[in-house]
């Protein structure tokens, strides 16, 4: 399981190195509060739950949010880069199957919506573009953090296996030394056994000789005793 997780982390990092997300802001109409409204959208290749949480935090910068059903509306929004006056800010977060998550916004100046021909169009597009950049960076930061944590664990595991290898090699060397000592002792035992056999044979020979000498002495003693008995 650990190897699988490491493989996933490596694959994710290579994917990150090999490709950069394409961020494109486009004009789009959406139905909010039962009315079609003109605005802009961006598609972000991340899960809806991640985008919703980040977008709620972003939308709060403009004022008090009224949200529900994926809609985030600020009726008295302050957007100083666009106008010093209060505006009505509409936004939606929608999950796009196999495409990611779409964030859509519209700015109602009271007399008109900011569209593609409005001089403040770039400021509205910048909100979406920068938001996409920020969430991608945050997601990559999490991936890097997880990968670094996995790398640290992998390094520790590697160091542990290296230490184990040294320990095993030490035991192998100790066994080899013991085996060498045992072999030398066995050879010494063999030499001792050969000598003991020789000593035993010599002892038997000496026993036979001693027995013969003893028998001679016994006979000699008997002869002397007989001679003593014959003297009268």
User: What is the CATH classification number for the domain harbouring 42?
Assistant: 3.30.530
Tell me the per-residue pLDDT of 2-38, one tens digit each, with 9 for 90 and over: 555 555 555 555 554 545 688 999 999 999 988 999 9
**pLDDT of 43:** 96
Q: Tell me how many domains the chain contains.
A: 1
Residue range(s) defining the domain that contains residue 47: 21-147
CA separation, residue 23 to residues 43, 67, 103, 130 (Å):
7, 25, 12, 9
Q: Does residue 81 sit within a domain?
A: yes
Q: Does residue 168 sit within a domain?
A: no
Q: Does residue 194 sit within a domain?
A: no
Q: Does residue 142 sit within a domain?
A: yes
Phi-psi region of 34 (alpha: psi -120 to 50; beta: other; left: phi over 0): left
**pLDDT of 8:** 54
**pLDDT of 31:** 92
Q: Does residue 93 sit within a domain?
A: yes
In angstroms, the CA 198 to CA 195 distance is 5
Tell me the per-residue pLDDT of 114-141, one tens digit each, with 9 for 90 and over: 999 899 999 999 999 999 999 999 999 9
139-153, 159-173, 180-194, 207-221: range with lowest mean pLDDT: 207-221
Q: Does residue 78 sit within a domain?
A: yes
DSSP class per residue in 66-77: EEETTEEEEEEE
> Hey, which bits of 49-175 come out as E strands?
66-68, 71-78, 86-96, 100-108
**pLDDT of 1:** 52
Q: Does residue 97 sit within a domain?
A: yes
Q: Does residue 192 sit within a domain?
A: no
State both tokens at 103: 């964030």
**Vertex 45 angle, CA 90 and 117, to 5°:** 40
Q: For a pLDDT cut of 90, what percent of the chain falls above it?
A: 46
State both tokens at 53: 């949480």
105-119, 145-159, 172-186, 212-226: range with lowest mean pLDDT: 212-226
In angstroms, the CA 74 to CA 59 distance is 8
């Amino acid at each position: 399981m650990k190897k699988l997780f490491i493989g996933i982390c490596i694959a994710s990092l290579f994917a990150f190195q090999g490709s950069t997300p394409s961020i494109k802001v486009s004009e789009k109409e959406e139905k909010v509060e039962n009315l079609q409204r003109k605005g802009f959208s961006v598609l972000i290749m991340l899960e809806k739950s991640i985008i919703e949480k980040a977008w709620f935090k972003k939308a709060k910068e403009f004022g008090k949010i009224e949200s529900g059903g994926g809609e985030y509306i600020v009726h008295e929004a302050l957007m100083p880069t666009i106008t010093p006056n209060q505006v009505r800010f509409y936004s939606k977060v929608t999950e796009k199957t196999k495409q990611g998550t779409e964030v859509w916004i519209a700015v109602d100046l009271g007399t008109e919506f900011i569209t593609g021909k409005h001089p403040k169009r770039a400021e509205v597009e910048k909100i979406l573009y920068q938001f996409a950049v920020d969430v991608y960076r945050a997601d990559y930061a999490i991936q890097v953090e997880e990968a670094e944590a996995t790398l640290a664990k992998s390094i520790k595991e590697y160091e542990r296996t290296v230490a184990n290898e040294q320990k095993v090699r030490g035991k192998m060397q100790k066994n080899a030394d013991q085996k060498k000592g045992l072999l030398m002792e066995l050879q010494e035992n063999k030499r001792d056994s050969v000598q003991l056999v020789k000593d035993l044979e010599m002892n038997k020979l000496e026993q036979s000789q001693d027995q013969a000498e003893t028998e001679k002495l016994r006979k000699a003693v008997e002869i002397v005793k007989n001679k003593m008995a014959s003297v009268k």
